[in-house]
Amino acid sequence: MPDVSILDVRLHDRSIGTLTNVPGDRTLFAFSQDYIDEVDRPTLSLSFKDDHGQLLTRFRPVQTKLPAFFSNLLPEGPLRRHLATRAGVNEKQEFFLLWMLGRDLPGALSVHPGEGEALPPGHDDLPDHARRNALRFSLAGVQLKFSAFQNGGKAGGLTIPLEGTGGSWIVKLPSQQFAGVPENEFSMMTVARLMGMDVPELDLISLDSIVGLPEGIGQLNGPAMAVKRFDRTPDGPIHTEDFAQIFGKFPDEKYEGASYKNIGSVISIETGRADIAEFIRRLVFNTLIGNADMHLKNWSIIYPDGRTPILAPAYDFLSTIPYIQDDSAALKYSRTKKMADVTMDELAHLAAKARLPEKLVLDVTRETVDRFKQVWTAEKNNLPLGKDVRDAVDAHALNMPIYNGQ
């Protein structure tokens, strides 16, 4: 195996830097001088800005893992183990995992072998089908999901391409652990859209309507959910990043690396009143439905002009309380993680610490609670939810202080 391997990091298909793997499995990221010198350069990540808004250009090497921004591009947990085995790559060697998966990453980023080799050193005998299977799992996260192309006039017919790249939809398959997860997420996202939140196009589809599901994913029951990718347009990809990347936290720190107060602070600094209001709507809504999984990777920003961040459309909204009876949120709000302790005073405290306009935060909270009561009451029996889920959300919401104006 060569002593040094290099990956070319491209943003909007333009080379902006390199990831270099050196003996001892250490990886170093460096921006290209052309990117550093460009005045109106496209933004890769807010994590590469210093306190004065200037580009950071000196980074320490990372052992075994990739630097945090790049580590967050990779799948996690059982999904990572599955694809690493199929690709013939050690799941802990993130540099070589990214080598295999870097063609269809979130946002406008792609990663390519620096010398043009198709496979990592020592993997020349890897069968073509193994490489293709790995590429199909190139989306970050723990859930089994794929990029897919639309076949017809709606999401009902989707094809997962042979190498998993280029699709403008995400197919999220049923959970093998919990029943009804796609129906739950579809329903909560639908309610959020009806309440006025920014939600991508989505649909529930039968597994039979999906062409190209790979072998070896196990027995699945129920429909899948299809979500239109907000980072893909007819004019090309739009760059995005999640808040684990923004805060420089590794995926295993997504539940502890920061708080909703910290997320609000970034939104306050980098965006405007409309995004602050949308942030509070989503925070209040997920508190009311009992979503205990709104961790750092479930909040993102997007760069429509390539440089200026705004809050990305919503994703991964579902009620977790029917599956896990715990009202502790994924992150601390300002002083508490307990949803039952989220009062108007707690949100006022969050506003003060994150430097958000207090009146805006409290007004949006009241409006969101009122709108939730209207929409949930009108729609809950029309949604593809079991009675147990509806009852769990009803009972949870009634116990939330903000639901009762406190």
* Residues annotated as catalytic (active site), given as ranges: 293
Q: Would residue 390 be called left, alpha or beta, if left means φ above 0 and alpha means ψ between -120 and 50 degrees?
A: alpha
Bridge partners (DSSP) of residue 111 are 9
- Is 254 in contact with 244 (CB distance < 8 Å)? yes
> Please, where are the H alpha helices in 76-124?
77-87, 94-101
Using CA atoms, how far residue 301 sits from 185, 263, 363, in Å, is 21, 11, 24
> Please, where are the H alpha helices in 225-357?
243-246, 260-270, 273-289, 344-354
- Measured in whole angstroms, how far is the alpha carbon of residue 292 from the centre of its chain? 15
CA dist 67 and 72 (Å) reads 9
CA dist 198 and 195 (Å) reads 9
Owner of token pair 């995005």: 240
Q: Is 171 helix (H, G, I), strand (E, B) or coil?
A: strand
Radius of gyration of the chain (CA): 21
Q: Which among 183, 171, 255 is positioned nearest to 222, based on CA atoms? A: 183
Using CA atoms, how far residue 37 sits from 34, 45, 46, 58, in Å, is 5, 17, 18, 15
CA dist 334 and 352 (Å) reads 10
Assigned token pair, 306: 């390539």
CA dist 284 and 173 (Å) reads 27
